[in-house]
A and B are shown apart, each in its own frame.
Chain A
Amino acid sequence: MTGWWGIRCVWLRYFDVYRKSLFYSVVTTFVEPLLYLIAFGFGLGGLIKTIPVGSATISYRQFIFAGIVGQTILFQAFFEAAYGSFIRMYYQRVFQAIATTPITLREVLWAEVIWDASKATFAASAVLLIGTAMGDFSPIGAVIALPLCFVSAFIFAGLGVLVAARSRTIEDISYPQYLLIFPMFLFCGIFFPLESLPKMLEWVAWALPLTSVVSLVRTLTLGLPFRIQALPLLAVWLLVLVPWSRRAMSRRLVK
């Protein structure tokens, strides 16, 4: 009984809020990835010229730019979903208000994760664009990477909504933020090749969804070898987190 019309209607509500506060939206969406690009791509990339990845050697700036695409998807999707949906559910009660109209709660929650993923994809597309303009990414690879970014963002949006649904207060979101999101950011291959880690930590990193995202982005944009485990791992995370998050939020709202 889920209808695209209802999902579209709620998605447009989010987009209108985003559009109305355009300056704030642009700053919060695009400034952070740009700062990472400058600091790590040009700053650190100026010191470390090249980096061996498997049998290939690429420039560190190329390596880090592709990693920042993954980081952008993680941060934008998770933070919008976790803090944004907590505010919409707990303080604004937007979900409750819409779900007593002809739009069902199921549609509202689909619109939520689609919006979170959309916002993350807007931001990731800016990084892909800069990377392509700088000659670091293959243009075709960057275009093909966009749908991958959108689908991957669902995983982190799902995680964010799940965290919001399970948090009693907004402060509770800090726990998964520090214990899961930041470790993912640091150890999933954004800044250094996973092969540098001890074998066991490398396996742990592969168990986390960001590693697969970063690996696939590098395959598409830089032509690095395709890691066979990346796609099934992403599919598993997607199939687990998105339904789980929506169920958790429904349970939180509907007694």
Chain B
Amino acid sequence: MTVPLTVRDLAKEYKTPGRDPVIAIRGISFEIQQGECFGLLGPNGAGKSTSMNCISGFYPATSGSVKIFDIDVYAHPKQARMSLGVCAQEDTLDTDFTVLDQMVRYGTYFRIPVTEGRRRSLALLERFGLDGRKGDLVEQLSGGMRRRLQVARALVSEPKVLILDEPTTGLDPEVRRVLWDVISEERLKPVAILLSTHYMEEAERLCDRVAILHQGKILDCASPSELIVRHIGSREIDEEIRAGVRWKRPPNLEDVYMKLTGSHLEKNP
């Protein structure tokens, strides 16, 4: 059976005339199986969004290949993207349409007939708790609702591979939990999910495997528990949380990231 997503030696260099080229990704490789949630964990600037943009075929790679069910996304983008759902980090909702209309319209880009798109959209809006807002314009939605809508829109084509670029950044815990539930349900369908995040808790909770990304390179890749055992061990961490106050806690992916890179996940620029 073909692998839903295969990334081989993917590299990306940004070239700006008059400036030195910036290497954003330095030859990353991984595969994602059906029903697997694969996390790219790293701080801002680690190369997560560039990787996502290259994997969706929106940015051309400097070298390497990306295949969705053995179809090269650069050679055959239309065919490859028929199986792909993308939720970008930025808000890309179509503000000219209502909540429902833009879901249906987005479906037409995947050749989904309007009646079928409408049926799927209504079901998704209900699942995301947005069915009461289907006639509203995007501007009338809160930040959390917009984010939910963007993830819902990525699912309207019933993708086999789902790319979620920091889907929960800036959301309150309740909305984050709704999205976590949806991602877990999609994995069971089974959809192959590529999730980028800088939240270690999110990576630990959702991802079967996590790749630690630092300065465009994958430093290590395994399940969250394996990474923790491999780099930190199972002993509790003794930590001073503020002056004079210490506590002991189980080790987590933040500790792994710190050990591998010498810096914190969420503090990096």
Residues in A lying within 8 Å of B, measured CB to CB? 1, 3, 5-6, 9, 12-13, 16-17, 20, 92-94, 96-105, 254-255
Contact = CB atoms under 8 A, between A and B. Distances in A.
12 contacts: A1-B77, A3-B78, A92-B92, A92-B96, A93-B90, A93-B92, A96-B92, A97-B92, A100-B58, A100-B88, A101-B109, A104-B77
B88 A102 contact: no
A93 B94 CA distance: 8
Most chain B CB within a 10 A radius of its CB, from A9, A13, A20, A98:
A13
Contacts of B94: 13, 92, 94, 97
Interface of B: 14, 50, 53, 56-60, 77-79, 81-82, 84, 86, 88, 90-97, 105-106, 108-111, 157
B58 A1 contact: no
9 closest A-B pairs by beta carbon, nearest first, are: A97-B92, A101-B109, A100-B86, A93-B92, A17-B96, A102-B78, A102-B81, A100-B56, A103-B109
Nearest to B96: A17
Contacts of A102: 77-79, 81-82, 109-111
Contacts, number: 72
A168 to B, nearest CB: 15
A100 B81 CA distance: 7
B46 to A, nearest CB: 16
Contact of B58 (A5, A13, A99): A99
B58 A96 contact: yes
Contacts of B109: 6, 9, 98, 101-103
B78 A104 contact: yes
A93 B91 contact: yes
A112 to B, nearest CB: 14
B14 A255 contact: yes
Nearest to B138: A92
Nearest to A103: B109
Chain B at the A interface: SS class: loop
A3 B50 CA distance: 27
A105 to B, nearest CB: 7
Most chain B CB within a 10 A radius of its CB, from A3, A101, A103, A104:
A101
Given A17-B97, A101-B110, 14 more contacts: A12-B108, A16-B97, A94-B94, A96-B58, A97-B94, A98-B109, A100-B58, A101-B81, A101-B86, A102-B82, A104-B78, A255-B14, A255-B50, A255-B53
Contacts of B77: 1, 102, 104
B78 A97 contact: no
Contacts of A1: 77-78
A208 to B, nearest CB: 29
Contacts of B60: 254
A3 B264 CA distance: 47
B241 to A, nearest CB: 40
B95 A96 contact: no
Given A93-B91, A96-B92, A101 B106 contact: yes
B98 to A, nearest CB: 9
A108 to B, nearest CB: 10
Contacts of A254: 58-60
A76 to B, nearest CB: 19
Nearest to A98: B109
Contacts of A6: 78, 109
B20 to A, nearest CB: 15
A105 B81 CA distance: 13
A3 B157 CA distance: 20
A101 B85 CA distance: 8
Nearest to B22: A255
Contacts of A101: 81, 86, 106, 109-110, 157
Contacts of B56: 100
Contacts of A9: 108-109
Given A1-B78, A96-B92, A16 B58 contact: no
Most chain B CB within a 10 A radius of its CB, from A12, A20, A99, A102:
A102
A106 to B, nearest CB: 10
A255 B96 contact: no
Given A101-B81, A101-B110, A255 B105 contact: no
Contacts of B106: 97, 101
A92 B95 contact: yes
A97 B91 CA distance: 9
A99 B79 CA distance: 13
A13 B105 CA distance: 8
B66 to A, nearest CB: 13
B73 to A, nearest CB: 10
A96 B91 CA distance: 10
A92 B91 CA distance: 8
A97 B81 contact: no
